Amino acid sequence: MVDPSPVVDRSSVVEPVETTRAFWQDLGLPGLFDVHVHFLPENIQKRVYAQFDDAGPKIGREWPIRYRGSHAERVELLRSFGVRRFSALPYAHRPGIATYLNDWAAAFAADVPESLWSATFYPEPEAPEYVGRLVEAGVEVFKAHVQVGEFHLDDPALDQVWGILEDAGTPIVVHAGSGPVGNAFTGPDPLRRVLERFPRLAVIVAHMGAPEYAEFLALAERYENVCLDTTMVFTDFFDVEAPYPRALHERLLDLQPKVLLGSDFPTIPYPYVHQLTGIARLGLGEQWLRDVCWNNAARIFGESRSA
């Protein structure tokens, strides 16, 4: 396994903390609410870093990771930026690992009050039991990553899971778009089929569905509880290969209550603030930015875990 620690000399990296804080302060917000942040067990995190370092088949391009500190260091960095609430989003990449990830994420949430209590699932016989138990216990958000996990969202093994989540209204961040490298499991059609059967599901489409932006945007327009997160979209890094079509900008304004700030911290190759400047340069107005960066997620999840 590749040891990622020497790849970036953190002592030479200066974070634009004041610029990041000025962004939300100028909007009159209490901070930022980032629905797409990852914290994983250290052994899993190192494997994820190695995948990006190798630019492997599921990554498809050079992807230098900027943030490689310890969990404590990364939490403190988010706090310094003014990210007042953020997720952890473990994602099961094979059968039999979801419970391990969920136990770890529960401990992380207990230690970090700003974090959303996050969990994951996989299409396996025990999934309805552990998803139901977690929902009853108060889990705030789930993550499903079909590109990495290589499973179909409409796998029959998930039917009971979708029913539980639809009834509970617990949001699921779903990476279903074909970026960065598509496979037989990605694209809008599987999610569309799930929503046809479970139309009240609360889904947050990761990366705004990149690169199938229009198709996933249409799902958010059609289904009441489908939202989009901005993760890595509108950045120079994404614009090289999957720019968001300018023709869709007006529809994003119409969907103002359904667009949520996401970053993909820590596995991003640029300063955190670049995500913020990317969405600002769309020119959709300060109230749109306020809703995207705080109000929409605060309405869905609450401003604190007890809210």
> Residue 7 has what pLDDT?
38
**Cα distance between residue 186 and residue 77, in whole Å:** 33
User: pLDDT tens across 227-266, in order?
Assistant: 999 999 999 999 999 999 999 999 999 999 999 999 999 9
Q: Is residue 306 part of a domain?
A: no
Q: Is residue 43 part of a domain?
A: yes
Greater confidence (142 vs 5) lies with 142
Q: In sequence order, which residues have a C-beta less than 8 Å from that of residue 293 and are 6 or more positions away?
A: 24, 27, 29, 32, 33, 261, 276, 279
In this prediction, what percent of the chain has a pLDDT beyond 70?
95
Q: Is residue 271 part of a domain?
A: yes
User: pLDDT tens across 169-202, in order?
Assistant: 999 999 999 999 999 999 999 999 999 999 999 9
> Residue 134 has what pLDDT?
98
pTM comes to: 0.94
> Residue 3 has what pLDDT?
33
Residue 5 banded pLDDT, cuts 50, 70, 90: very low
Q: Is residue 157 part of a domain?
A: yes
Task: Please report the DSSP string for 258-271 in residue order.
Answer: GEE----TTS-SS-
> Residue 72 has what pLDDT?
97
Q: Is residue 222 part of a domain?
A: yes
Least confident of 1-15, 76-90, 163-177: 1-15
Average pLDDT, integer, range 206-214: 98
- The CATH number covering residue 178 comes to 3.20.20.140
**Cα distance between residue 59 and residue 271, in whole Å:** 20
Residue 162 banded pLDDT, cuts 50, 70, 90: very high
Tokens 């000025």 identify what position? 22
Q: Is residue 116 part of a domain?
A: yes
Write down the mean pLDDT value for the chain.
94
> Residue 306 has what pLDDT?
56
Distances (CA, A) of 200 to 27, 138, 164: 32, 19, 11
Q: Are 267 and 38 in contact (CB under 8 A)?
A: yes
Q: Is residue 108 part of a domain?
A: yes
Tokens 């200066």 identify what position? 14
Count how many domains the chain has: 1
> Residue 87 has what pLDDT?
98
Domain hosting residue 83, numbered range: 16-301
> Angle of helix 71-81 relative to helix 17-26, nearest 10 degrees?
50
> Residue 304 has what pLDDT?
86
User: pLDDT tens across 91-126, in order?
Assistant: 999 999 999 999 999 999 999 999 999 999 999 999
Q: Is residue 246 part of a domain?
A: yes
Residue 65 banded pLDDT, cuts 50, 70, 90: very high
> Residue 13 has what pLDDT?
65
User: pLDDT tens across 6-31, in order?
Assistant: 334 444 468 999 999 999 999 999 99
- Whether the bond into 266 is cis, omega within 30 of 0: yes
Distance of CA 266 to the CA centre of its chain: 11
